Amino acid sequence: MTDKDIMTLTVFGIRPLIEAISSGKIPDRVFIQRGLRGDNVPELMGLMKGNDIAYKVVPEEKLNRLTRDNHQGVFAFMSPIEFASVEGIVDQKIENGENPLVLILDHLTDVRNFGAIVRTAECTGVCAVVIASEGAAPISADAVKASAGAIFRVPICKSRHLVDTVYYLQQSGLKIVGATEKTDTLVYNTDMTVPTAIIMGNEEKGISKGLMKLCDAKAKLPLSGEIGSLNVSVACGAVLYEAVRQRMEK
């Protein structure tokens, strides 16, 4: 799939989006005009609810900026990938006696950071990357390019509620590790040889309070400079490779 193909993965109009979803195509982002009404609107909304597809209500002007064509109050960016179920992946790994390593991205918004992280995740054996259904970086041409194609090789899983997903993983026996500087514990002293889910926070806000409360462990990287923080993709790489080192030495 070329960059041009990815950039043109858009659908507008009520019936076209209904047909796209019905055929198994999952939108990455959906914009619905505020106050939208019509004979096919209930069918579309029911289909989106049944497939757990999030959407954003916007004024008509927003849609007019996205396309000059007759959008009928609906515009969607389609994903170039098929999203996976983290529950299904983890259940299968555990059933097979494997040691799952899951990566949870808490509302990262920069597509290049996202792509770079997925590339590292593929190299480090991460079995699933979990992102939020809303407020997260889109699966765009820039994200695909930054991942060097790894987006097509690592299962990407969308979650409507990250807290519920983390709770599920915790109940499934995974250790939840939050990568944050708000701790005295270094990542090197944090056991990640067991089934583990690592949470990386938003570029500006870090890990949300709701997710932080669920963490079984919090870990930080040592910093000697004056800046006091790392780019999230760089930090994620360091944490993932520490998990790899520990697992290789086990």
Cα(136)–Cα(142) distance, rounded to whole angstroms?
Answer: 14
Chain mean pLDDT for the chain: 91
pTM: 0.84
* Cβ-Cβ contacts under 8 Å for 15 (sequence gap 6 or more): 40
pLDDT of residue 3: 44
Domains and CATH numbers, the chain: 3-78 (3.30.1330.30), 86-249 (3.40.1280.10)
- Orientation angle between helical segments 14-22 and 41-50, nearest 10 degrees: 30
pLDDT in tens, 107-144: 999 999 999 999 999 999 999 999 998 888 888 778 88
Cα(58)–Cα(43) distance, rounded to whole angstroms?
Answer: 19
pLDDT in tens, 211-240: 999 999 999 999 988 777 899 999 999 999
What is the amino acid identity at position 195? P
Q: How far is CA 14 from CA 9, 56, 165, in A?
A: 16, 15, 31
Cα(28)–Cα(17) distance, rounded to whole angstroms?
Answer: 12
* Cβ-Cβ contacts under 8 Å for 249 (sequence gap 6 or more): none
DSSP assignment of the chain equals --HHHHHT-EEESHHHHHHHHHTTPPEEEEEEETT---TTHHHHHHHHHHTT---EEE-HHHHHHH-SS--TTEEEEEPSS----HHHHHHHHHHTT---EEEEE-S---HHHHHHHHHHHHHTT-SEEEEESSSS----HHHHHHTTTGGGTS-EEEES-HHHHHHHHHHTTPEEEEE-SSSS-BGGGS--SSSEEEEE-BTTTBS-HHHHHH-SEEEB----SSS----HHHHHHHHHHHHHHHHHH-
pLDDT in tens, 55-98: 999 999 999 998 888 899 999 988 888 889 999 999 999 999 99
- Assess whether pLDDT exceeds 90 at residue 200: yes
